[in-house]
Amino acid sequence: MFAVITAIQYLVIARGAERVAEVAARFALDGMPGQQAAIDADLRASTISPREAQARRAALSERSEFFARMDGVMRWVKGDAVVGLLITAINLIGGVAVGALRAGRGVGESLSVYGTLAIGDGLLAQLPALLIALAAALLVARVDQVGGQHTRATWLEPAMLLVPALLLALLAGVPGMPGLAFVTTAVGLVAVALWISARTLDGKQPAGEPEIRVHTNFNEAARASITHDLAELRNRCEAALAITIPRLVLSPTRPRSALQPNELELRLGERVLGRGRHAKLCGPSASAGSAGRDDALVLGCFQVLMDSAARLVTLQAIEAELETARRRQPTLIRQAMRVVEPVDVLTIVRAFVRERIPVPSTDALLQALAEERVFHDPAERRHWPEHAREALADHWVRDLCDGAAQLGDPRWRRPTVDLEDAILARAKHGTRGLSLGLSEAERGRVVARICAGASERPVLLLCSSHARPAFACLLAGARPYVPVMSVGELALAGVATPVCAAVDVD
């Protein structure tokens, strides 16, 4: 048994793993400059992002260092087998000498007694060494078959512990083996495997998906009906805006909340998305088509959700979309990312959502960013959302007009040149975006003239291209919601300019 274990450990496992580690280390180190050059080339071509390039360089360096270290480790493992064999031989020779010269026993008797003791001691030393050599060999041979974050999980699988536990249990039944030690170790390995399995099952429990909690006072008996309406409302808003909206969960008013009985609050985690009132939506919903709902709570939730939907679009979501597009359209995203950054794409997408326009597909948006020369001028950066609206007008203008027409015969209104000049004179661009230097009374008077009659028929505002952002800012949060479009957007979408009622200054 001792000879078989030693031969397997030294001749098969240790020498084979040493050769594998040596060759792998040589190839890894020799190929490292070429692989680094390939990563740099992909980065210059914008095929991969800087973050992905950094991750690849780190993985390449880690792999090379691993094989270099394992090459030295396998030499130590092979030396451990040789040293174990030498120690056993020294113990055998020394035991026979002591038995024959000091104890007065014969050579045969000394060889039988001390030889059994020496080989037993060597066998106990060689079994752990065999397991170490086997583990090191498996690590070297399988490192390229598992990668990245999955490597640690692979080596901590319960099956990897149950196999040696079974082997130790079988060895415990071999005559002359230390059965108690083997059985105790096998039981310990099984216990650790069960513990890892239990933790793995706990870790696989689905993580709580993000959800928007609707805090308000409601009739508990109508919870099921309201929950169903909120689910339908969420689906319609997602379809209208072309973004992902977390699940809406109905919750009672929080303790010590400042909410009034007819008010509601939307929260995403600890973040307040917005507050509103239980108000029946009588006017148009240009992008969600939710007119006709009778439940005041749901309609109030609709207003707050649509007003705050732009805050649900995050930079992480934009980067994930860009990475997906990079794999699908590498040339397109390479051209687009040369002129804009992910944060610019985020600003454009939020501008679409803020004005209740469905976000165009990633490919269409990137195509516009790559082709339109205006996006190559950093001085125009603050106007990029407006240019994106015009470049993609054929994707949304007709749908918006058709949606308004389904709610009734729309009323088109257009500010006069004097009103546009008056509003533009008060508009200021700051670090937080566009702001209007109007008092509440001044703003209220202009909004009232524009939105007059909007509760009976949908109202759409048409203005010049340079004044459109200011009037969109003016009408933000107006009830009912009034879409603001420019003459240029209608022309680019091939829509004839409608007859508009003039809105003048006081």
pLDDT tens by residue, 346-370: 999 999 999 999 999 988 999 998 8
What percent of the chain has a predicted confidence (pLDDT) above 90?
Answer: 13
Q: How confident is the model over 437-491, as pLDDT tens digits?
A: 888 888 889 989 888 888 888 899 999 999 999 999 998 888 888 999 999 999 9
The pLDDT value recorded for residue 286 is 37
Instruction: Say how far apart CA 24 and CA 29 lie, in whole Å.
Output: 9
Which candidate, 390, 420, 404, 410, places its Cα nearest to that of 503?
420
Instruction: Say how far apart CA 186 and CA 197 lie, in whole Å.
Output: 16
Q: What value does the mean pLDDT of the chain take?
A: 80
Q: How confident is the model over 97-115, as pLDDT tens digits?
A: 888 777 777 778 887 888 7
Pair 493, 394: CB distance under 8 Å: yes
CA distance readout (Å), 375 to 309, 380, 389: 25, 7, 13
Total-model pTM: 0.59
Q: How confident is the model over 2-19, as pLDDT tens digits?
A: 667 667 666 677 777 777
H-only helix segments in 258-314: 296-308
> Residue 51: which residues within 8 A CB-CB, separation 6 or more?
none
Mean pLDDT, to the nearest integer, of 243-267? 77
3-state secondary structure of 465: coil
Mean pLDDT, to the nearest integer, of 146-167? 64
Cβ-based neighbour number of residue 241 at 10 Å: 25
Instruction: Say how far apart CA 459 and CA 461 lie, in whole Å.
Output: 7
Instruction: Say how far apart CA 477 and CA 275 lie, in whole Å.
Output: 12
Instruction: Say how far apart CA 422 and CA 424 lie, in whole Å.
Output: 6
